[in-house]
Amino acid sequence: MTGFVMCGKPQFIGEWVKLGDVAKIRTGKLDANAADEDGLYPFFTCAEKTLRINTAAYDCECVLVAGNGDLNVKYFNGKFNAYQRTYIIESKGDKELHVPYLYRFLSHYVKTLRKESIGGVIRYIKLGSLTGARLQLPSMEQQMAICGVLDSIDRVDRYCLKELDRLDKLVKSRFIEMFGDALNSDNRWPERTLGSMLDIARGGSPRPIKSYLTSDPAGINWIKIGDAVNGSRYIENTAERIKPSGAKKSRLVHSGDFLLSNSMSFGRPYILKTEGCIHDGWLVLQGVDGCFDSLFLYQLLASDDMLHRFRGLVRGGVVNNLNKDLVSSVSVMVPPIGLQRDFATFVQQVDKLRFMLLGNPSPMFGHRSFCCSTNSGNGGVILEAKEY
């Protein structure tokens, strides 16, 4: 389906155009070191964060695309200056291209730009990758209508994130109220090392992994950090599977086990709701039910205090890496299981509120919810907004 969709009915079929035909594209002129933190105007470089500068060379409504590095996209209307590798993209005519619509398009198309980027350590894009980009261009009125719907989606997203953050803080406050700080409970509870209570082991990676991946539905789940859903404490599904021969060179884990990332963005815990095998970037904590309620243990391991403890254990190494011995040596409080379960009941009630919030995020939409998607076709991108 193409075009702007409301209640399942197409509202337009726009003409396919090249961006270079409807937009004026140029770059900034300055070096990145021209920034002044006390400057009067925004200074757009290739960094995600906008810097400041004391002189303005441009005064327009535009979209700014970082020409190298992260290739991020920004919208701005007013006076500013720009780095020499930052692309400044304006509409050639006020009645043809709505700049916020262009911003929406490029915010999705940047994924394609990243694939087309070239270079070694620092990737960059050529002007032709922008001028040759194809987009579907409906009437100005329809472009504005699409942006209106997507702006509404953004408002709902911001509302949801704000409310979810409040619920997360509520759970953290309740934990401290019941048990004290994760690493300083005022000696209210006995302490034991994780290794004395749980079976802790490192995952294993059959190599080369490509030789062991399979599309066979009977394959064994291959659990990776990318299988974790943002904001969730659980891993329930996997994108890949491995052959039984690969499982023999890995480590099998089960529903109810805890996983702990042990390198790079280390220390993040997850509760498994599936079975499978884990690579050597994971630690598995098994035997949880003997000493802990899983929701209590999750909150304990996910706390800022525990992350600080983990960072202290690995400080000084080239790569932050938590191994079995380090995690096993960490002492944690062990409150009575009944009190842990009381906390778990509280968390479950908060989860119900979280589910209600995600199911009906804002009174302004009643019982409706919105989503947006992109479809590729003819080498271009179609913006859609759907109402369910």
Q: Which of 332, 291, 312, 304 is nearest to 185 (CA)?
A: 332
Contact 246, 220 (CB under 8 A): yes
Q: In angstroms, rounded to a whole number, what is the distance separating the alpha carbons of residues 245 and 277?
A: 12
Write out the two tokens for 89.
């993209």
Residue 368 — φ and ψ, nearest 5°? -100, 155
> Quick one: pLDDT at residue 185?
61
What does DSSP assign to residue 189?
S
pLDDT in tens, 53-67: 999 999 999 999 999
**pTM, whole model, 2 decimals?**
0.70
pLDDT digits (tens, 9 = 90+) for 77-102: 999 999 999 999 999 976 789 999 99
DSSP label at 256? T
Positions of E strands within 209-315: 213-214, 220-223, 234-235, 240-242, 251-253, 258-261, 269-272, 276-278, 282-286
pLDDT digits (tens, 9 = 90+) for 228-256: 887 789 999 999 999 999 999 999 999 99
pLDDT tens string 138-171: 999 999 999 999 999 999 889 988 999 999 999 9
Rounded to whole angstroms, the Cα distance separating 66 from 27 reads 10
6/272: higher pLDDT = 272
